[in-house]
Chain A
Amino acid sequence: MLRFLKNNLKNSSKEDNEKYPSIAKNLDKNVKQLNKMFSSDKNSDFASREFVAQYSNNKINIFYYSTIVNGDKLYTGIIQPLLENVGETLKNVVTLEAIEELSTYEDVIEHINSGYVIIFEDTLDKAFAIDVAQFQHRGIEKSQNESVIKGPKEAFTEALGVNVSLLRKRFHDKQLINESLKVGERSKLEVNLLYVEDLVNNDVLKDVKKRINDIKSDNVRNVEMLEQFLEERPYSIVPSILYTERPDKAATYIEDGYIVILMDNSSACLIVPINFWAFFQSPEDRYLRFLYGNFTRLIRFIAFFITVFISAIYIGVTNYHSEMIPPDLLLAITAARERVPFPLVFEVLLMEIAFELIREAGIRIPNPLGPTIGIVGALILGQAAVDANIISPIVVIIVALSGLTSFAVSDVSMNYSVRLSKYIFITASAWFGMFSLTGAFIVWISYLSSLKSFGVPFFSPVTPTYKSPGNNLFRKALKNEIWRPGNIKPKDIKKKQTE
């Protein structure tokens, strides 16, 4: 039965492909076929025009989507030359850059969808495709989510060509390859892989391409969705692909032999393979001078630590190891908690969840309402809850601190994984204090260290050890960055000729 179904499926898909006849020499036949395929009677922006070409005196018909092509270009580059110019072949007549010859209807459909103009000429059993696409998109704007004080401000935008240009602008190398793949079964979209040919590790490249080709989805709209199709552990708490909207960050990674994945419709790119440290780095760390950059890194590391552990440690210490707290402080905490009816864990969780609510509301809230709700959130929830003896002021401090510091982990995915980890540790320390907290920490670290992103261990190049630019928790002076990161096994490990 199953086999029968399978065969049936196979046959039907075969039929799907063979459904279209080949392009005929007779123009009318082709026009009819195309109008049928694109339902031109209903599809209001599907346009066609018929005229006689000057150079061959044959009838010509052109097809395109009027909403995604550049009208001026279409007129001056295609229609006008065909009506007026004289020449041997169509390619000599039309002045636009690249003209492709298509021989099947599948290609024709794909090209029309990508904003090409398709030209059918009577007596020819092929079609010509010319790129006059003009998809609408935003201009290049300032980076919104990864802002820097010192450094370039440009961010990617939702247009593939623009994004590639932003990258090429930053890295002038003839070996910088922009390889294009198609993804999606129904709506075929372009995915661009950017890498330096003589640096990139071929195994990783092959792996990435294989994963992209293996995607069996009707439509993969943008890199945000592509990321989830590419990663190996969709249920894991930690991300394995870096996502950035900054072209300068992407360019830094390309230089080191990483692969950057770009798509239309995303104002960001994906970077693979990646390690743990990269999620905490901002390009600004390397734009600032050595000492300042490392100071930032230190602050960020402390922030990370506070985010993950402060609530858990507070619970653990006050519940199980109160002898550790100096007496004056202990009295202060006890006095503050005296009138609060809830257990400490409940109190902390209540506040943590309230903070998550404020954060979520802050993102979704319409702009004009923002300040109002901010005041309600901060003042009402904070001050009034303390006055009403629902939570103690110290918990407000603890949770506000952990919430505030979580923003120092600027990567969106890592930010979530840090926040989720926080709850794991809160639960652990509520159970057996520092004992179970330490246990949970060890399990967490060992889980992280066992992860791999496209074959690269998560904590490399620190452990397992590889030659690297030393740009992990801290960074070296730029002068001393001699090696490329060895953990991704680039073809050329040496960054700079020292002798």
Chain B
Amino acid sequence: MKPDKTLKTREMFAIVALFIGVKLSDTTATLYSQKVQNGFWLSVVVSLIIALPSFFILLHLLKLFKDKNLVELLEILLGKFIGKVVGFTIFLTSFGLLVLDSRNYVEEVKLLYFPESPTTSLYFIFIIVCILTAKRGLESIGSTSWIVLPFIKISMFLLAFLILKEIVWLRIFPIFGNGLDVVLTEGINKASIFSEFILLTIAYTSFRDTKFFRRGSYIGSSVVSLELVFFFLLYALVFDYNSIEKVAYPYHEVTQYVNLGNFFTNVETFFMVFWLSAAFLRFIIYLYLVAMVFGAVFNIKEHESLLLPLGLLTVSSGLLVENTVINELVYREKLLMYSTPLYVLLPYLLWIIKRLRRDLK
């Protein structure tokens, strides 16, 4: 008895919820709030409005071409060569974002909890855990995500509940922060924050039935979107106009605000544990998907053997950036901005090609 493909809706949901959902607790909020200030939760809504339809169109296309993953779909629609080139571009941008983002997370852990430890050792441990876990395969990643997910979500919503007494509803104003135009441009520019949705489709055929992938994606993306907007709104209500742009890690800042009764007053480590599990899983999934894209582009069947080199490459390139501010506010922001057109427009382009080339079925 060999159940080869065991992944179903709930694993997909867990993967989406962790892969994208952790964004509510990292520096994504900071990235938005730099220009938009407390209206940044609306920018996220804009980004989601831009990014989600492309994802759904891609899902629709994948449904038409049964049993094809992202790269195979690209090859069919764009031809072998251009398909590979686009696939490789997707790999490059995702890998770049993986490098910058992982450095970002490691710096976050270091700054908040291990100020005296060297980044290098933390980074190595982080990536080694990711490689070891990712090596066990997507089935195991999905199961692990599902097992850990409830604890992470409970801790997040416990935090949301505890912070409720700190919020002031009037801080929602000015409703558009620094102006509607800023909200819109920032939202559109950073839509590629959700490019990971597109990256997920490389695993389209790894599920027991592709309908589980679609169902998991729909449920996962809607839940995650609600969560993100809810938490970003919460940050806006806690930190207010102007001061919000100075908060580097809003989620962790919030954990410092909350108490569990009068006795447990410093519970940030409690929340940090769950946040860390989520962060680990996010990069495990990220690394695995990136390896999958690379494997698909270069026809490497054993893509799991790519994890070690890709992981070590992540560490070595991640350490190149001199500090976290430049990493976050220059490189990551630029990369996100430049890759937005690719991720947002690609699915539409594919869809148009599909309409034009009626010979394909």
Total contacting residues, chain A, CB less than 8 A: 40
Partner of B148, one of A317, A445, A460: A445
With contact pairs A326-B264, A434-B269, A435-B125 given, residues A446 and B11 touching in the complex (Cβ less than 8 Å): no
Beta-carbon contacts under 8 Å, B84-130 to A? 109, 113-114, 117, 121-122, 125-126, 128-129
* Interface check A171, CB cutoff 8 A: no
With contact pairs A435-B276, A462-B146 given, residues A446 and B7 touching in the complex (Cβ less than 8 Å): no
* Interface check B272, CB cutoff 8 A: yes
Partner of B125, one of A323, A439, A450, A463: A439
CA distance A431 to B263 in the complex (A): 28
Is the pair B147, A459 in contact by a Cβ cutoff of 8 Å? Answer: yes
CB distance from B106 to the nearest CB of A (A): 10
Is the pair A463, B269 in contact by a Cβ cutoff of 8 Å? Answer: no
- Chain B hits for A446, CB < 8 A: 132-133, 136, 140-141, 143-144, 284
- Chain B hits for A443, CB < 8 A: 129, 132-133
- Chain A hits for B320, CB < 8 A: none
Is the pair B1, A489 in contact by a Cβ cutoff of 8 Å? Answer: yes
- Chain A hits for B6, CB < 8 A: 457, 460, 464
Is the pair B136, A447 in contact by a Cβ cutoff of 8 Å? Answer: yes
- Chain B hits for A274, CB < 8 A: none
* Interface check A203, CB cutoff 8 A: yes
CA distance A459 to B144 in the complex (A): 9
Partner of A433, one of B1, B113, B132: B113
Is the pair A317, B1 in contact by a Cβ cutoff of 8 Å? Answer: no
Is the pair A463, B266 in contact by a Cβ cutoff of 8 Å? Answer: no
- Please give me the residue from chain B that is nearest to A447 by CB atom: B136
Beta-carbon contacts under 8 Å, A300-340 to B? 317, 320-321, 323-326
With contact pairs A434-B276, A442-B277, A462-B147 given, residues A450 and B139 touching in the complex (Cβ less than 8 Å): yes
* Interface check B214, CB cutoff 8 A: no
Is the pair A442, B113 in contact by a Cβ cutoff of 8 Å? Answer: no
CA distance A436 to B277 in the complex (A): 10
* Interface check A438, CB cutoff 8 A: yes
- Chain B hits for A320, CB < 8 A: 113-114
Is the pair B113, A321 in contact by a Cβ cutoff of 8 Å? Answer: yes
A-B contact count (CB 8 A): 124
* Interface check B137, CB cutoff 8 A: yes
- Chain A hits for B264, CB < 8 A: 326
1/0 contact string of A333-350 vs chain B (CB within 8 Å): 000000000000000000
Is the pair A324, B270 in contact by a Cβ cutoff of 8 Å? Answer: yes
CA distance A450 to B143 in the complex (A): 8
Partner of A449, one of B114, B126, B147: B147
Beta-carbon contacts under 8 Å, A397-455 to B? 431-443, 445-447, 449-450, 454-455
- Please give me the residue from chain B that is nearest to A454 by CB atom: B1
Is the pair A457, B143 in contact by a Cβ cutoff of 8 Å? Answer: yes
CA distance A321 to B264 in the complex (A): 14
- Chain B hits for A464, CB < 8 A: 3, 6-8, 11, 139, 142-143, 208
Is the pair B129, A432 in contact by a Cβ cutoff of 8 Å? Answer: no
CA distance A25 to B282 in the complex (A): 79
CA distance A214 to B142 in the complex (A): 34
- Chain B hits for A323, CB < 8 A: 266, 269
In the A-B complex, the 10 residue pairs with the smallest Cβ-Cβ separation, listed nearest first, are: A464-B6, A455-B1, A449-B143, A450-B140, A439-B129, A450-B136, A203-B1, A324-B269, A463-B146, A463-B143
Binding site for B on A (CB under 8 A): 201, 203-204, 207, 317, 320-321, 323-326, 431-443, 445-447, 449-450, 454-457, 459-460, 462-465, 489
26 A-B pairs with C-beta separation under 8 A: A326-B266, A432-B122, A434-B273, A439-B128, A439-B129, A439-B276, A443-B129, A443-B132, A443-B133, A446-B140, A447-B136, A449-B136, A449-B140, A449-B147, A450-B137, A450-B139, A450-B140, A455-B2, A457-B143, A459-B143, A462-B147, A463-B11, A463-B143, A464-B142, A464-B143, A465-B9
Given contacts A326-B266, A434-B269, 9 further A-B contacts (CB under 8 A): A207-B1, A324-B270, A326-B265, A433-B114, A435-B109, A441-B277, A442-B281, A447-B140, A464-B7
Binding site for A on B (CB under 8 A): 1-3, 6-11, 109, 113-114, 117, 121-122, 125-126, 128-129, 132-133, 136-137, 139-144, 146-148, 208, 263-270, 272-273, 276-277, 280-281, 284
